[in-house]
């Protein structure tokens, strides 16, 4: 599948906040399960399958954001054996009070090796990357998961994650 075939909402990067609006209103990014409900009230209560193929597809495609916190920046800098300030100058863009990884002009994450298509900081990748594909935007409805499975070769295959494992990943960061 080419990068142009991928949907922005189903790549490993989040869309701009303005792009997540419908009819001028912010769309809900939470799946149809509430904090006080049990797992029987959600469509993925029996779990979902996922096995990362390390294809790099979720690290490329349409422009977006990979939001990072200070601890994640420090971990990635350590992984690359770089001082934090040098890492930030090379790989991070400041967006107001928030920080995101820089992208190449084609939308590829700056930490995706262009030759091998592998993440250069895989062992210390940000939470947003670690929790893919178990994001609110991919779990809202069964059709969202189906769309994710169409663009991610590991979604819907491999290890079966339980409802509790999915929810633990989903709640780490709202994406």
**Tens of pLDDT, residues 8-25:** 344 676 654 334 433 334
> What six digits make up the tokens of 106?
């084609």
> Rounded to an integer, what distance in angstroms lies between the CA atom of residue 156 and that of residue 89?
37
Task: Report yes or no on 31 lying in a domain.
Answer: no
Task: Report yes or no on 50 lying in a domain.
Answer: yes
What integer is the mean pLDDT of 86-103? 97
Task: Report yes or no on 119 lying in a domain.
Answer: yes
97 phi/psi in degrees, rounded to 5: -90, -5
Task: Report yes or no on 56 lying in a domain.
Answer: yes
pLDDT at 22: 37
pLDDT at 7 over 50: no
Query: Structurally, how many domains does the chain consist of?
Result: 1
pLDDT at 48: 98
> Rounded to an integer, what distance in angstroms lies between the CA atom of residue 145 and that of residue 138?
5
Task: Report yes or no on 109 lying in a domain.
Answer: yes
Domain with 109 in it: 43-170
Look at 33-42, 58-67, 98-107, 124-133 and tell me which has the smallest mean pLDDT.
33-42
Task: Report yes or no on 100 lying in a domain.
Answer: yes
Task: Report yes or no on 29 lying in a domain.
Answer: no
CB neighbour burial string for 109-125, b if at least 16 within 10 angstroms, e if fewer: bbbbeeeeeebbbeebb
pLDDT at 5: 38
Task: Report yes or no on 104 lying in a domain.
Answer: yes
């Amino acid at each position: 599948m080419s990068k142009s075939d991928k949907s922005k909402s189903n790549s490993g990067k989040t869309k701009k906040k303005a792009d997540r609006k419908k009819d001028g209103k912010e769309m809900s990014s939470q799946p149809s399960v509430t904090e006080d409900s049990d797992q029987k009230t959600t469509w993925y209560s029996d779990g979902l399958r996922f096995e990362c193929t390390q294809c790099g597809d979720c690290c490329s495609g349409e422009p977006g954001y990979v939001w990072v916190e200070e601890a994640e920046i420090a971990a990635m800098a350590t992984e690359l054996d770089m001082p934090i300030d040098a890492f930030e100058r090379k790989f991070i863009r400041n967006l107001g009070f928030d920080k995101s990884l820089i992208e190449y002009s084609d939308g590829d994450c700056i930490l995706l090796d262009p030759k091998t298509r592998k993440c250069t900081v895989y062992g210390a990748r940000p939470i947003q990357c670690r929790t893919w594909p178990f994001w609110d935007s991919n779990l809202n409805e069964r059709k969202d998961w189906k769309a994710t499975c169409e663009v991610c070769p590991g979604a819907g295959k491999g290890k079966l994650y339980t409802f509790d494992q999915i929810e633990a990943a989903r709640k780490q960061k709202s994406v």
